[in-house]
Amino acid sequence: MIFHSTKNAALKASLEEAIFNSLPPDNGLYMPEYIPKISEDFLVDIENRSFKEIAVEVATTLFEGEITRSELENIIEHAYDFEAPIVGIAPEDYVLELFHGPSMAFKDFGARFMAAVMSHFLLKSDREIKILVATSGDTGGAVAQGFYQVPGISVTILYPSGKVSEIQEKQLTTLGHNVTAIEVNGTFDDCQKLVKEAFLDPELRQHYNLASANSINIARLIPQSFYFFSAFAQLKKLGKSIVFSVPSGNFGNLSAGVLAFRMGLPVEHFVASTNLNNAVPRYLTSGLYDPHPSIETISNAMDVGSPSNFVRLQRFFGDDWKLVTEKISGAFFTDEETQQAMREVFESTNYVMCPHTAVAYLGLQKYRKESGADFTGVFLSTAHPAKFIDLVEQTLGKSIEIPARLESLLHIEKVAVKMEPTFEDFKNLLLNELAL
Ligand SMILES: *Cc1c(COP(=O)(O)O)cnc(C)c1O
């Protein structure tokens, strides 16, 4: 698969270059030159395939000529010791649970695959790389777990002190080995800025092969298409068309669903579900893209004012607004509506949703009402509710169980390097105290 920049189709890159560069030099986004179709024979009996078999087929179709099927089998075997089960909560409504990975959020699907693919390329070259990543919460945990003890890769994660939940902080700060956490006395934006500056610094670049693990990396986006195929496989026997509602922030998840659709997955429609950070739903109704600064909500992993994958999402439809709106509808909800949905679903079905999942649930219900269509509805659950335990317990008025995997973290002491948000301090740390 050859990639090119969204800003300049003549700027091309191989898969390996696209993964290690993360962004093209002109600051566009990497897009596949051409989207190959999944084999029709494969779709005919996809219901008999496991998650891993589906992932191998999709990845082989996409990476033909760059990574062989048997290498991909190996990569996927390493990346995925968890699945994406479908759970029914009403006769026509299903949850696609994406929180069974090590950090208990859907970002594990991208981070684990990216780590395994990078490691595949590094083993062939004996280079070493350093991943720098800024996190406002969930990305850091998934990246830390994804790259933990991967040979040839060290990871430095910057997070804003006091602005991530206790569980999220423990996920970053208790692994050790090749994972270093830096607790920045500042905001997420400060962390992001320090990482961006590091990538531009000649001295650091001379010292390290720096790489990024942010959500616009194509190696995080592509594997997220696997579970759209897997959801289809699990629901195929119902014989109805499928509508996916995707709770969205940077729109990597929805872009991956659209990639699956463009590869030939039968999808009736998508709902782009957001909180009040609603630039994309507003674009879908008006045709105007007018991003606003982000605002804080209870579904905070989706508090993105200007989604980084928006350009990609449009490009999948040839930048034709009309075509985008034929396939995607938008919906956005307030915190009150989100909490109300969490309570209603819990009271009627006993199913506990995190706030992001509740936004997706609401988007699906809204589309069902407005379209009047008959379909199998799937809303994506992007995080385990226990990751947001205080909010969930307060909303439902009862205590919920914490999975052992999260509970045990709370008893491990955190290890983090404290730092002021100045580039000089950051650079000094990387070149001296944290130098490998
Ligand atoms: C990152 C995240 C999202 C948003 O996903 P995008 O791909 O950025 O749209 C939604 N829910 C949770 C729990 C997340 O961590």
DSSP notation for 370-395: HH----EEEEEE-B-GGGGHHHHHHH
pTM of the model: 0.95
Q: Which residues contact 358 (CB under 8 A, 6 or more apart)?
A: 299, 338, 339, 341, 342, 345
Pick the residue whose CA is nearest to atom 1 on ligand 1. 301
Phi-psi category of 400—alpha, beta or left, where left has phi over 0 and alpha has psi -120 to 50? beta
pLDDT surpasses 70 at 261: yes
In a domain, 136, yes or no: no
* Pocket-testing residue among 145, 164, 221, 250, ligand 1, by greatest number of atoms within 8 A of Cβ: 250
Categorize the per-residue pLDDT at 420 as very low, low, confident or very high, splitting at 50, 70 and 90: very high
Determine the pLDDT at residue 436.
55
Q: What is the sign, positive or negative, of the torsion defined by CA atoms of 221, 75, 149, 178?
A: negative
Name the residue type at position 431. L
The strand pair at 269-274 and 328-332 is best described as parallel
Could you report the per-residue pLDDT of 15-48, keeping only the tens digit for each? 999 999 888 989 899 999 999 999 999 999 999 9
Euclidean distance between CA atoms 43 and 47, whole angstroms: 8
In a domain, 315, yes or no: yes
* Ligand 1 centroid – CA 246 distance (Å): 9
Determine the pLDDT at residue 137.
77
Q: Which two tokens stand for residue 306?
A: 């200007």
What would the mean pLDDT of 334-360 be, rounded to a whole number? 98
Categorize the per-residue pLDDT at 202 as very low, low, confident or very high, splitting at 50, 70 and 90: very high
CATH number, residue 270: 3.40.50.1100
In a domain, 261, yes or no: yes
In this structure, are residues 213 and 118 in contact, taking their beta carbons and an 8 Å threshold?
Answer: no
* Ligand 1 centroid – CA 428 distance (Å): 32
Categorize the per-residue pLDDT at 188 as very low, low, confident or very high, splitting at 50, 70 and 90: confident
Could you report the per-residue pLDDT of 363-399, keeping only the tens digit for each? 999 999 999 999 999 999 999 999 999 999 999 999 9
**H-helix or E-strand spanning residue 183:** strand 179-184
In a domain, 418, yes or no: no
* Pocket-testing residue among 29, 98, 104, 107, ligand 1, by greatest number of atoms within 8 A of Cβ: 107
Euclidean distance between CA atoms 154 and 173, whole angstroms: 14
Pick the residue whose CA is nearest to atom 14 on ligand 1. 301
From edge to edge, which strands make up the β-sheet containing 417-419? 210-212, 129-134, 153-160, 179-184, 417-419
Determine the pLDDT at residue 1.
87
In a domain, 147, yes or no: no
* Ligand 1 centroid – CA 248 distance (Å): 6
What would the mean pLDDT of 422-432 be, rounded to a whole number? 94
pLDDT surpasses 90 at 187: no
Euclidean distance between CA atoms 194 and 189, whole angstroms: 9
pLDDT more than 90, % of the chain: 86
The strand pair at 3-5 and 8-13 is best described as antiparallel
Determine the pLDDT at residue 435.
66
* Ligand 1 centroid – CA 207 distance (Å): 33
What would the mean pLDDT of 212-229 be, rounded to a whole number? 93
* Pocket-testing residue among 145, 297, 302, 357, ligand 1, by greatest number of atoms within 8 A of Cβ: 302
In a domain, 14, yes or no: no
Determine the pLDDT at residue 331.
98
Determine the pLDDT at residue 418.
96
Q: Which one, of 285, 267, 143, lies nearest residue 214 by Cα?
A: 143
* Ligand 1 centroid – CA 126 distance (Å): 33
Determine the pLDDT at residue 182.
97
> How wide is the angle at C-alpha 220 spanned by C-alphas 430 and 296, nearest 5°?
80
* Ligand 1 centroid – CA 213 distance (Å): 15
Helices (H) and strands (E) in the chain, counts: 20, 14
What would the mean pLDDT of 325-330 be, rounded to a whole number? 98
List own/partner pairs for 387-395 with CB under 8 A and 24 or more apart: 387/99, 387/104, 387/105, 387/138, 387/165, 387/167, 387/168, 387/354, 388/165, 388/298, 388/354, 388/355, 389/167, 390/165, 391/298, 391/355, 392/342, 392/352, 392/354, 392/355, 395/339, 395/342, 395/343
* Ligand 1 centroid – CA 362 distance (Å): 16
* Pocket-testing residue among 29, 100, 106, ligand 1, by greatest number of atoms within 8 A of Cβ: 106
Cross-strand pairs, 183 = 159, 418
pLDDT more than 70, % of the chain: 100
Number of domains in the chain: 1
User: What range does the domain containing 287 cover?
Assistant: 84-105+221-396
In a domain, 215, yes or no: no
Lowest mean pLDDT among 152-156, 224-228, 432-436: 432-436
What three-state secondary structure class fits 85? coil
pLDDT surpasses 70 at 407: yes
Name the average pLDDT for the chain: 94
What is the number of residues in the chain?
Answer: 436
Could you report the per-residue pLDDT of 126-185, keeping only the tens digit for each? 889 999 999 887 889 999 999 999 989 999 999 999 988 888 899 999 999 999 999 999
pLDDT surpasses 90 at 114: yes
In a domain, 194, yes or no: no
* Ligand 1 centroid – CA 129 distance (Å): 26
Pocket of ligand 1 (CB under 6 A): 105, 107, 138, 215, 247-253, 301-302, 356, 382-383
DSSP H helices, 223-272, are: 226-235, 252-262
Q: Which one, of 328, 265, 332, 330, lies nearest residue 295 by Cα?
A: 332
Q: Which one, of 289, 210, 297, lies nearest residue 247 by Cα?
A: 297
